[in-house]
């Protein structure tokens, strides 16, 4: 399940090597409408991309759908792809998730390379082999575990990001820091997201990816400790689903940041997680991400979304919680009353 993750300062050399390692008859590049304009020009003229056939889908998570997936399958079929073809996914987490799923299922699987172009896809979506689409109003409901042959991380792409997408990706890094310990958390909570130090950010990305790789290496298919990576996601995915249903779509990392606040509150109530760390994290999130507006009448709907989480067993909601930064407790359960109290805490601190 492990894949080759390359930290690149020379995208031409790194991509050429990755493509050469995958013997192929035809080459395809998947972008969305944004990365086609912002990122494709950075690699379009490379010799290894000569003759590549382009496939472009709509941008943002609203297009992480079976319709977009079918669009990719159809393009591959009509353009003569075989099981010996190769696809390069150039984009954020939506492109790498959907593109990875399309490649994993077309003719029972073709090779693919991920070039994540957002901070979120660098530290989250492109490492660990999770692929998939949203379905039936639920996040990542359909998908498979299947690693890219190579993931190329080039920090130059981060300079194409706007502030919102920078913050979105950083939420997953903040999560990784909480899973690691106090030292990592303190470093992340004090980073200036408004005026980012790019060289420092590059080092932090490498550390963040290493944390995720270590966890994924121990548990590739999420039977145990890999569930740690879902910290903030049980509530975060519920927020995303509600936002999608109410036509006020939010970026994944924002939902995770708000989910972290909720689940750290639950951790404090149930496991004695330090309230000082909770409060500092809350203030960092509120300062950088704003707040997600919810009303009491939406609690039942949010609870229902949580019951669909993939970590659940027999309809029981399983949370990943912390007794302290770095002290991970998977498969933690909470009553409906405790979950509503958590949502009260979140709503009142907005």
Alpha carbon separation from 133 to 25, 143, 262, 324 (Å, rounded): 27, 6, 25, 33
Q: Which residues touch 315 (CB under 8 Å, ≥6 apart)? A: 307
Q: What is the pLDDT of residue 79?
A: 98
pLDDT at 149 exceeding the cut of 80 = yes
Confidence of residue 26 (pLDDT cuts 50, 70, 90): very high
Determine the Cα–Cα distance for residues 169 and 155; give it in Å rounded to an integer.
Answer: 13
Q: Which residue has the higher pLDDT, 159 or 297?
A: 297
What does the block give as tokens for 78? 């009509």
Contacting residues for 243 by C-beta, under 8 A, at least 6 apart: 249, 250, 255, 292
What six digits make up the tokens of 255?
């939902």
Tokens found for residue 240: 């995303």
CA–CA separation, 187 vs 189, rounded Å?
Answer: 6
What ranges make up the beta strands (E) of the chain? 4-8, 27-32, 53-57, 86-91, 111-116, 133-135, 138-142, 150-154, 319-324, 327-332
> For residue 237, what are its two tokens?
């995915």
Alpha carbons 125 and 111: distance in angstroms, whole number: 17
3-class SS of residue 312? coil
As given in the structure block, the two tokens for residue 194 are 């408004």
CA 34 to chain CA centroid, Å, is: 18
Angle CA(144)–CA(205)–CA(268) in degrees, nearest 5?
A: 80
Please state the rounded mean pLDDT for residues 218-228.
Answer: 89
Question: What percent of the chain stands above pLDDT 70?
Answer: 98
Q: What is the pLDDT of residues 5-20, one digit of tens each?
A: 999 989 999 999 999 9
**Is the pLDDT at 314 greater than 70, yes or no?**
no
- What pTM did the predictor assign? 0.86
Is the pLDDT at 1 greater than 60, yes or no? no
Mean pLDDT of the chain: 94
Please state, for a pLDDT cut of 90, what percent of the chain lies above it: 85
Q: pLDDT band for position 350 (50/70/90)?
A: confident
d(CA 200, CA 209): 14
DSSP bridge pairs for 151: 5, 114
Task: Give the architecture-level CATH label for domain 4-160.
Answer: 3-Layer(aba) Sandwich (3.40)
Please, which pLDDT band fits residue 138 given cuts at 50, 70 and 90? confident
The pLDDT of residue 309: 75
Q: For residue 287, what are the contacts with CB-CB under 8 A and spacing of at least 6?
A: none
| pLDDT score, position 72 | 98
Residue keyed to tokens 């000569």: 50
pLDDT in tens, 46-68: 999 999 999 999 998 899 999 99
Q: Where are the domains of the chain?
A: 4-160, 163-348
List strands edge to edge, sheet with 150-154.
4-8, 150-154, 111-116, 86-91, 27-32, 53-57
243-285 per-position pLDDT tens digit: 989 999 899 999 999 999 999 999 999 999 999 999 999 999 9
CA separation, residue 28 to residues 3, 37, 93, 110, 212 (Å): 20, 17, 18, 11, 28
Does domain 163-348 sit in CATH 3.20.20.140?
no
Contact 344, 311 (CB under 8 A): no
pLDDT of residue 2: 57
């Amino acid at each position: 399940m492990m894949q080759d993750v390359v930290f690149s300062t020379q995208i031409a050399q790194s991509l050429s090597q990755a493509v050469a390692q995958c013997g192929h008859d035809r080459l395809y590049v998947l972008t969305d409408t944004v990365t086609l304009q912002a990122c494709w020009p950075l690699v379009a003229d490379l010799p290894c991309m000569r003759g590549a056939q382009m496939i472009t889908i709509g941008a943002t998570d609203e297009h992480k759908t079976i319709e977009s997936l079918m669009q990719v399958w159809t393009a591959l079929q009509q353009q003569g792809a075989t099981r010996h073809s190769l696809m390069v996914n150039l984009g954020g987490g939506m492109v790498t998730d959907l593109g990875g799923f399309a490649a994993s299922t077309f003719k029972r699987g073709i090779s693919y390379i991920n070039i994540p172009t957002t901070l979120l896809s660098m530290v989250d979506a492109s490492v660990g082999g999770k692929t998939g689409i949203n379905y039936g109003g639920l996040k990542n409901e359909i998908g498979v575990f299947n690693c890219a042959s190579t993931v190329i991380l080039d920090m130059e792409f981060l300079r194409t990001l706007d502030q919102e997408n920078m913050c979105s990706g950083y939420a997953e890094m903040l999560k990784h820091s909480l899973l690691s310990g106090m030292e990592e958390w303190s470093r992340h909570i004090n980073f200036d997201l408004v005026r980012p130090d790019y060289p420092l950010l590059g080092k932090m990305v490498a550390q963040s990816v290493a944390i995720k790789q270590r966890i994924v290496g121990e548990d590739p298919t999420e039977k145990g400790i890999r569930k740690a990576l879902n910290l903030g996601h049980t509530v975060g995915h519920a927020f995303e689903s509600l936002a999608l249903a109410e036509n006020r779509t939010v970026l994944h990392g924002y939902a995770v940041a708000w989910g972290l606040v909720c689940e750290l509150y639950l951790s404090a109530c149930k496991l004695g997680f330090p309230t000082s760390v909770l409060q500092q994290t809350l203030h960092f999130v509120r300062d950088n991400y704003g707040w997600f507006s919810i009303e009491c009448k939406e609690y039942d709907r949010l609870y229902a979304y949580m019951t669909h989480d993939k970590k659940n067993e027999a309809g029981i909601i399983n949370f990943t919680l912390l007794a302290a930064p770095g002290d991970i407790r998977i498969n933690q359960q909470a009553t409906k009353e405790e979950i509503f109290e958590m949502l009260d805490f979140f709503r009142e601190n907005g």
